[in-house]
Amino acid sequence: MNIIDELNEQLKNSSTQEVIEFFLNQYRSKVALASSLGAEDQVLTDIIFKIDKSSKVFTLDTGRLNPETYDVMDATNLKYGVKLDVYFPNLDKVEQLYQTQGINGHFESIDNRKKCCNIRKIEPLKRALKNLDVWFTGLRSSQSITREDMKLVEWDEAFKLIKVNPLINWSEKDVWDYIKANSVPYNKLHDKGYPSIGCAPCTRAVKDGEDIRAGRWWWENPEHKECGLHKK
């Protein structure tokens, strides 16, 4: 049995708080939450800072976020008395991207979109994860067809570290019940029909009955709707 299987077996009956506390205690400065500042990650931020306010929580500023996303970043810093770590894309690569595909070239092809995601998200994430052994994510199995088979603990081959999904079995109702019960700051776009929020040009509100990830890269087929951060 490898370490991933051992961890899944060891933690299979643990609560979300117990899972997070286990990894914070075992890996200390080598574990962090990668936060999109969406509802799920705000839940994890609250749980983590209640356990240890010195824990590392970081986010990626792609340069194309909604104003509401910056608002929740500020509200989070103020509520917990912290400063979230923020990673930006490489300036030269962004300038080159604009020269080759323009400001909205990501709409023209999947390759263009993935190139944009790589420069704005994947490369900064690699820098953020460089010295870590474990990262927490807010992924839930019911979010999309690309996430149905994810487990609590996984080996992330792309980034060569352990990935922990503490909310993997949570429902959307669980998330919002926690936010309301604990007065957790959240992105106000959620109140306007945005269940999943990324970069402004690549995110829209969803209609009643649509999948919760339908507003992300809505011009693409569902099986393509990952930026590469959580590629299997």
Say what the pLDDT of residue 221 is: 75
Mean of pLDDT values over 37-66: 97
Residue 207's nearest CA partner among 193, 192, 222 is 193
Q: Is the pLDDT of residue 33 over 60?
A: yes
Across the range 43-71, mean pLDDT stands at 97
Q: What is the pLDDT of residue 149?
A: 76
Flag whether pLDDT at 227 surpasses 70.
no
* pLDDT of 226: 54
Give the residue-averaged pLDDT of 20-33: 97
Under 8 Å between Cβ of 24 and 30: no
Percentage with pLDDT > 90 across the chain: 83
HEC readout, the chain: CCHHHHHHHHHCCCCHHHHHHHHHHHHHHHEEEEECCCHHHHHHHHHHHHHCCCCEEEEECCCCCCHHHHHHHHHHHHHHCCCCEEECCCHHHHHHHHHHHCCCHHHCCHHHHHHHHHHHHHHHHHHHHCCCCEEECCCCCCCCCCCCCCCCEEEECCCCEEEECCCCCCCHHHHHHHHHHHCCCCCHHHHHCCCCCCCHHHECCCCCCCCCCCCECCCCCHHHCCCCCCCC
pLDDT at position 71, please? 98
Confidence of residue 213 (pLDDT cuts 50, 70, 90): confident
d(CA 66, CA 55) in angstroms, rounded, equals: 26
Give the pLDDT score at 223. 57
- Model pLDDT, residue 148: 65
Measured between alpha carbons, how far is 14 from 56 in angstroms, rounded to an integer? Answer: 22
Segment among 29-43, 79-93, 124-138, 198-212 with least mean pLDDT = 198-212
Residue 141 banded pLDDT, cuts 50, 70, 90: confident
What is the residue-averaged pLDDT of the chain?
Answer: 92
- Is residue 6 within 8 Å of residue 133, measured between CB atoms? no
- 69-122 pLDDT, tens digit per residue, is 999 999 999 999 999 999 999 999 999 999 999 999 999 999 999 999 999 999
Answer for the pair 117, 20: CB distance below 8 angstroms, yes or no: no
Check whether 232 has a pLDDT greater than 80.
no
- Identify the pLDDT of residue 216: 86
Does residue 231 carry a pLDDT above 80? no
Q: Is 80 exceeded by the pLDDT of residue 144? A: no
Residue range 186-214: mean pLDDT, rounded: 91
Specify whether 227 is catalytic: yes
pTM (global) more than 0.75: yes
